[in-house]
Amino acid sequence: MRSNEKKVGNTHLHTRSRRSGGALGAADGSSRRLRHLSGKLGNDAVSGKLTQGGIAQATMLDHIIGRLKNIQDVQLVEREQVGDVRKWHRQVAKGESGYHLPDPTRWHEVTTLYKQAADALVSGNLSRGSILLERAAEVEEATMATLPNMVTDRLQTHEKTAVEAPEEAAEGVTAGMTARCDRPRELTIAKEILAIQDTVDNAPPIKKTRKPWWNEVEEEEEEEDAADA
């Protein structure tokens, strides 16, 4: 059975990722929506709304790619610890604070959320993409806090730093829809993270060192002397 994970502290540094623009795809659904909005708001207003939505879309996708790259880097370090049992099994077996079994699959949940957010954004659904992105940021922070010491000790500061969703995510919740865009090739990182299934069932027990035979003889003699007294 896998040991219970113990939360360890980590430094929280909130940063915001910005991007000045993004390319918008041309879709029939977007064209129909554009004609519909033009009749209600006017061409200038519609143009500004779609441009703003495209910027938010590109910024959030760029943020997701950055977080997936960081998650993959951390997962790699944890995978290395799976194959390095001898370096940490004593601390885990003794139940030392901050030490528990490495588990690279811990990153599957947050990766799935980031992937779902990206899928929504690519389709032009800014509202759903923004909500999922905010949720993914929360889960990533919580997951980072469950890492064992032998992993965090090998991470650089920026790798173990929680990063909140960009402010465009909050804007996207009310932005609604925008045009579809091309799917960034870097999003294949999510599939690579989810393909990792390495786990450790339990830590090997600590071997007891047998006392030298002469110590055992001396202990037996002491017990016999005590019994004769």
Angle at 102 between CA 85 and CA 149, to 5 degrees: 90
**Tokens 């599939």, residue located:** 191
d(CA 213, CA 200): 36
Beta bridge partners of 125: 177
Instruction: Please give the pLDDT value at position 10.
Output: 39
The predicted model scores a pTM of 0.67
In the chain, where the domains are located: 28-228
Are 106 and 82 spatial neighbours (Cβ–Cβ below 8 Å)? no
Percent of the chain with pLDDT over 90: 39
What 8-state DSSP symbol labels residue 81? Answer: H
pLDDT higher than 50, residue 203: yes
Task: Name the band, by pLDDT with cuts 50, 70 and 90, for residue 228.
Answer: low
State pLDDT tens for residues 55-114.
889 999 999 999 999 999 999 999 988 877 777 777 777 777 778 888 999 999 999 999
pLDDT higher than 80, residue 175: no
User: Average model confidence (pLDDT) for the chain?
Assistant: 75
Residue 57, helix vs strand vs coil: helix
